[in-house]
Amino acid sequence: MTSSNYDIAIIGSGLGSLACASFIAQLYNKKIIVVEQYSQAGGLSQSFRNKDNVSFEIGIHQVGELNNSSMFSKLMKLISGGNSHWRKLPDTFIKFHFPDFIYEVIAGEKKQTQKLITLFPDEKENIIQYYKDIEMITQWYRNFTLKSIEVDKETLQNLFNSPVGELAMLTTQDYLDNRFNNEKIKSLLGSHWTDYGIPPRSSAFLKHAILVNNHKDGVYYPEYGSEHLISSIEKAIRNHGGELIFNTLVKKINHINGKATSLTVLNKITNEETEIKANFFISGIGAINTYKYLFDKSLVKNKLTSINNFKKYGVSFVKLYATLKSNPKKIGADASLSWVYSSYDHDLNFKNKNKLLKGIISQYSISFPSLKKTTNAKHSMKINSLINYSAFQEWEKMQMTDDTYAILKNTIGKTLLNDAERLYPGLNDLIESWDIITPKSSKKITQHFNGNIFGLPDTPERFKNLNFNCFTPLKNVFLTGSDITTSGVYAAVLSGMITTSAIFKDNRFFMKVFKELAMIERNTEKIMV
């Protein structure tokens, strides 16, 4: 740390925080420091290398709206200093496996609409209206996010009370029950819930609509992996005078007369406490962690009361990472993502997720990252299964030893691999090595409260709760990240834009983005020449 006085101090280095730092450093020329408790940046968007030195993405698997002309693509290009490289995945980019049927989702809304009409001709008009509703709700949400910066609760409440707002605030299951008659199509369309960790009976249809719309024209994967993407964002921040420090835990936000003055931070290596002073502060570590651990309780009583309603949600992942001996195409694998469900009843699949510890599978995904990237030393495979962090807390209470933990991980891994062999006969013969990452490890990396990697749950109650936005009780402290938008890469970058706009109140934000992009492109052309 070269200085303790900054224009802006940012807590956490998830993608929302990094987007904020990059926007502010490049567009507003402010002195910034990003403070991260872990040893590297990126949060769930980072990657790690296994014992075979194979790189795996932790959280990124499919991202939409990244065609060259989209605004999201331009924002990604800006925050990475022009180094945002994405590879388009196959048109059939996701497959939902049920006991007796495989539902494939393909790029192109018209193609997917026709595919569903062919499967369910009696639902034709409902299918057409379903996609119209998704488009309307997505536009409604974009309007809502922009209005949320203005802190006008009456305007926001009017948006909720509008016909589109009421539709958006239905649960996904209520919307599907109201729209469709056939039970099977309801289950197929509801299959996307594992992307945000809340089953159809609990999730807001808004979240479902945002996700489906985001993926409608196909999905992309970071060409050189998330390792390259995050390091490019870091480089862009540093090239504009920003700092990033690691292994440094923020313990408290200090304040006087309703205004924050500094952060008390702890160097986890030296155990030394220091202060970081700034004019503005941004927290990207989640609303719960920010209010529960960094604020004086007297300032955030209402916030903490609201948070209590969401503490029961704590879904995380068990992740299996495998190095393969050769190309998995020989066993029928491709660059798509497969989600496997034991039942058409998604609420039952969600309810039974912790049975994985007993060798019973309710759901999991399987993908082959090496088929999505062009730079691979070896081929690889990844399996994810939703599980509660609380399941591992119970093991901790039993004073789990290293040996019993290893046995538990081995049981989980064998269970997942045996079922994956059913999908891809010959898979187990291809595996060179594998390891399991549990919610214990994920919590160490990101410190998510109760291990909930998705942040505040995407329920109707959460979206309607106006206590959760980028503003805090301290006038110069702001939030960013999934808790002010929703989960996912797209939403994380959007949150960075929202927080930046709220701080600078700049209606010329996008003009600055295009101007900076033009400069990046000119510099790139000079280097190539």
Confidence band of 3 (pLDDT split at 50, 70, 90): low
Q: Which two tokens stand for residue 350?
A: 């969600």
Average pLDDT of the segment spanning 222-232:
91
* 151 φ/ψ angles, rounded to the nearest 5 degrees: 55, 40
Does residue 329 sit in the same domain as residue 437?
yes
pLDDT, position 396: 60
Collapsing DSSP to helix, strand or coil, 344 comes out as coil
Q: CA 340 to CA 423: how far, in whole Å?
A: 9
Asked, for residue 309, whether it belongs to a domain, the answer is: no
pLDDT, position 153: 79
Does residue 325 sit in the same domain as residue 373?
yes
Collapsing DSSP to helix, strand or coil, 439 comes out as helix
What's the pTM? 0.92
pLDDT, position 374: 76
- What angle, 0 to 180 degrees and rounded to 10, lies between the N-to-C axes of helices 124-148 and 153-161? 180
Asked, for residue 349, whether it belongs to a domain, the answer is: yes
Cβ distance 343 to 353 under 8 Å?
no
Q: For the chain, how many structural domains are there in total?
A: 3
Does residue 190 sit in the same domain as residue 254?
no
Question: Looking at 216, 232, 258, which one is the last position of a domain?
Answer: 216
Amino acid (1-letter code) at residue 23:
F
Question: Looking at 190, 216, 242, which one is the last position of a domain?
Answer: 216
Q: What is the DSSP string of 148-177?
A: HTTT-HHHHHHHHHSHHHHHHTSBHHHHHH
Asked, for residue 102, whether it belongs to a domain, the answer is: no
**What percent of the chain clears pLDDT 90, i.e. is strictly above it?**
67
Average pLDDT of the segment spanning 288-312:
85
pLDDT, position 53: 86
Residue 304 pLDDT more than 90?
no
5: number of Cβ within 10 Å: 13
pLDDT, position 112: 96
According to DSSP, the residues that pair with 97 across neighbouring strands are 102, 340
Cβ distance 221 to 60 under 8 Å?
yes
Question: Looking at 160, 187, 216, which one is the last position of a domain?
Answer: 216
Terminal Cα-to-Cα distance of the chain (whole angstroms) = 37
pLDDT, position 307: 80
Lowest mean pLDDT among 65-74, 149-158, 342-351: 149-158
Q: What is the DSSP string of 47-58?
A: EEE-TT--EEES
The candidate with the shortest Cα–Cα distance to 494, out of 227, 60, 148, 87, is 148
Q: What is the CATH number of the domain that holds 433?
A: 3.90.660
Structural domain span for residue 186: 108-216
Q: Which two tokens stand for residue 91?
A: 């048109």
pLDDT, position 1: 47
Asked, for residue 93, whether it belongs to a domain, the answer is: no
Asked, for residue 459, whether it belongs to a domain, the answer is: no
Does residue 341 sit in the same domain as residue 403?
yes
The candidate with the shortest Cα–Cα distance to 478, out of 493, 497, 491, 464, is 497
Q: What is the CATH number of the domain that holds 287?
A: 3.50.50.60
99: number of Cβ within 10 Å: 9
pLDDT, position 525: 52
Asked, for residue 452, whether it belongs to a domain, the answer is: no
